[in-house]
Amino acid sequence: MERSDNDTWDLATSVGATATMVACARAVAGRQTNPIVNDPFAEPLVRAVGVELFARLASGELEFSDIGSGWMPDFFGVRTRFFDGFLGSAMSAGLRQTVIVGSGLDSRAYRLAWPTGTVIYEIDQPEVIEFKDTMLAGVGATPAARLRSVGVDLRQEWPTALRQEGFDPRQPTAWLAEGLMIGYLPGDALSGRVSPKLRLF
């Protein structure tokens, strides 16, 4: 679902709907026996989006297998656990700056245990950022690290917006662009704009 130069969307349509569907899968994965991921904010966020299909999936009223996608909770549960572990390893290695690109309904800033002094930057459409921040504040959720929201379209000059929010390009940084590199963005939206020194954890 490659983006065009001027398309728009929200969490109920187009690219945004995929973020909501993935949150549905996380909610279901968290209810499995011996779950590998626990995202207590996934279902409330999905319900707040207001799409009946998504709400029924997130609550368990409707099974993913009913829509021919029974693989999704396991797949996205494993993917979430993998990147949770990546960020945990980065923090254990001493990194205290994380950027989540295309954060959507990601709740890692709230549900993971972050070391003191960690700063998390979440980048997404302004409307998406506002929706998530407002909804989570409404249920009494507070970030477990210093959270700085960067509301900007990734087709625009987002590195500038990131720096304006306090991002320090001199500091080692954990970058997370989960699910973005599969056709959702024009090819040059990320390449050439971020060139951190890579390190495997």
**What is the rounded distance in angstroms from the CA atom of residue 152 to the CA atom of residue 126?**
6
Region of 39 please: left (phi>0), alpha (psi -120 to 50) or beta: beta
Q: What is the CATH number of the domain that holds 70?
A: 3.40.50.150
Is residue 5 included in any domain, yes or no?
A: no
Is residue 182 situated within a structural domain? yes
Residue 164 lies in a domain: yes
In a domain, 3, yes or no: no
Q: Is residue 7 part of a domain?
A: no
The span from the CA of 113 to the CA of 92, in Å, is 11
What domain range is 134 assigned to? 15-189
Domain annotation covers residue 4: no
User: pLDDT tens digits for 78-111?
Assistant: 999 999 999 999 999 999 999 999 999 999 999 9
3-state secondary structure 69-113: CCCHHHHHHHHHHHHHHHHHHHHHCCCCEEEEECCCCCCHHHHCC
Is the model's pTM score more than 0.85?
Answer: yes
Q: pLDDT tens across 137-169, in order?
A: 999 999 999 999 999 998 889 999 999 999 999
Domain count, the chain: 1
Whole-number Å distance between alpha carbons of 164 and 158: 10
